Amino acid sequence: MEFEGQSVLVLGLGLSGCSAVNYLAGQGARVVAADERAESAVVDLDTLPGDIELHVGREFPALEDFDLVVPSPGVPAARFAGRARKAWGDIELCFRALRIPVLAVTGTNGKSTVVKLIEAMANAAGIRARAAGNLGVPALDLVGAPLDLAILEVSSFQLESVDAFAPRTGVLLNLSPDHLDRHGSMKGYRDAKARLFARQGPGQSAILNGDDPLCSNLALPDGVERLEFTRHRPVAAGAWLDGRNAIVRRAGRQQSISLEGAESLGPQDDNLLATLLALDTLDVDLGSATKAFESFEGLPHRCETVGEYKGVRYVDDSKATNIGAARRSLEALGGNLIWIAGGRHKGGALDELAESAKALVKQALLIGEAAKEFETALAPHVATEIAGDLNSAVARAAAIAYPGDVVLLAPACASFDQFNSFEDRGNAFRAAVEALSSSHLDSTKGRT
């Protein structure tokens, strides 16, 4: 679409909304930038062009009056579907502008780690690749950059506003209850994720988690290469584990890739399998790509050891904002856990989480809005105590922990009841741990 002279309404002026305003204004569109928050709450207004029209602190203008509406991820589809002539989010705009292959990753947990690992491994193999999207770098930042490959992390919210989006390779890592307050049900959530593959066709690949029935049973368009990754069994086309090797089989050939050196990445072999498989669909040399293991560091607040105090390790997994992520975190650390959980519950039954905690958790310390709800679900299985806030939980954990124990922050909840973000919560956890005893604390960072 040529944007010169077109009237475009951008809904929401967060990071992606502001990037869309700047991109579209640069393409000659007549842009109206709207945000219903008070002007004082919109932090990036000074980055916007001076010749656009601003609607801040009031209701959105009539969507029907514009050639194109660009909703930010925080604006639910119910607010623009059926009202806008066209509704394209920044992922759609980016896809239409790029002239290089696009690799896109979605799923409930692990998206940011996987796209950053793909980026590092592609670069190690001599491919000019960059990751953007939901991880905090606007997708439109990739347009015009000197790249061979665009790697996009896409959320279910962003997939509500795609149209022609059809990545060369799409990856669905896993599905567990999340954002049910927005999507209404697991079916609605799964359907939103499935939009990643809806416009794919011959010559394009879909990579699905073969250990997750919600992923592996997904129907794909005709002609799409279907690949699975699994930790537990060989597959006809895909990737699986064989000891500390990854076996990648597709297009009539099979490779064995050593995972030695990847231990520092933590308990995420499924993420490694998905990454290797995605790179193989783009003919990246996997042997060269694995050189990235030597220098790649996981992202903050993902199973990150933030210190030790009196023989007790403290692990920050603040990014575990849903039930599935928290369950994986508990199981990865394997027992002797004092678990800090709670916050603003995002929906989903707690039964399976309680079952995992039963064999692994010595004491659950509960914080935030969901503390009572978590206590009701966990108490039949695990010793529980309502700590209220994070500082109190860390202090209580330090008082009851024995050498060899692990104090784990894996909230299974959003942070917005007490914090601005999961990063803010993770930073507060680190600060509380460091405050235990700066003279005795070994604050050397490491991955679990």
Helix (H, G, I), strand (E, B) or coil at 246: strand
Task: Answer yes or no: is pLDDT of 157 > 50.
Answer: yes
97-133 pLDDT per residue, tens? 999 999 999 999 889 999 999 999 999 999 999 999 9
Domains of the chain: 7-87 (3.40.50.720), 98-294 (3.40.1190.10), 304-447 (3.90.190.20)
Task: Answer yes or no: is pLDDT of 140 > 80.
Answer: yes
261-315 pLDDT per residue, tens? 776 555 567 889 999 999 999 999 999 999 998 888 778 888 889 999 999 999 9
- Given this model, what pLDDT does residue 444 score? 46
Residue bearing the bigger pLDDT, 339 or 184 = 339
Cβ contact 37:56 at 8 Å: yes
According to DSSP, the residues that pair with 304 across neighbouring strands are 316, 447
Separation of alpha carbons 405 and 390, rounded Å: 18
Quick one: pLDDT band at residue 242, thresholds 50, 70, 90? Answer: very high
Residue among 88, 48, 53 at smallest CA distance from 72: 88
Residue 67, both tokens:
């050639």
350-399 pLDDT per residue, tens? 988 999 899 999 999 999 999 999 999 999 999 999 999 999 999 999 99
Task: Answer yes or no: is pLDDT of 50 > 80.
Answer: yes
Residue 337, both tokens:
């856990």
- 56-76 average pLDDT score: 96
Task: Answer yes or no: is pLDDT of 439 > 50.
Answer: no
pTM over 0.85: yes
- Given this model, what pLDDT does residue 260 score? 83
Residue 61, both tokens:
């203008």
- Given this model, what pLDDT does residue 266 score? 54
Cα dihedral across residues 397, 402, 403, 407: positive or negative: negative
Task: Answer yes or no: is pLDDT of 448 > 50.
Answer: no
Q: Which are the contacts of 255, defined by CB distance < 8 A and separation ≥ 6?
A: 247, 248, 249, 280, 286
323-353 pLDDT per residue, tens? 988 998 998 888 899 999 999 998 778 988 9
- Given this model, what pLDDT does residue 220 score? 98
Task: Answer yes or no: is pLDDT of 447 > 50.
Answer: no
- 186-213 average pLDDT score: 96
**Largest distance between two CA atoms of the chain:** 67
- Given this model, what pLDDT does residue 264 score? 55
Mean of per-residue pLDDT scores for the chain:
92
448: amino acid identity, one letter: T
Task: Answer yes or no: is pLDDT of 440 > 90.
Answer: no
Residue among 24, 10, 134, 30 at smallest CA distance from 72: 10
- Given this model, what pLDDT does residue 263 score? 63
DSSP for residue 110: S
Cβ contact 62:146 at 8 Å: no
398-427 pLDDT per residue, tens? 999 999 999 999 999 999 999 999 999 999
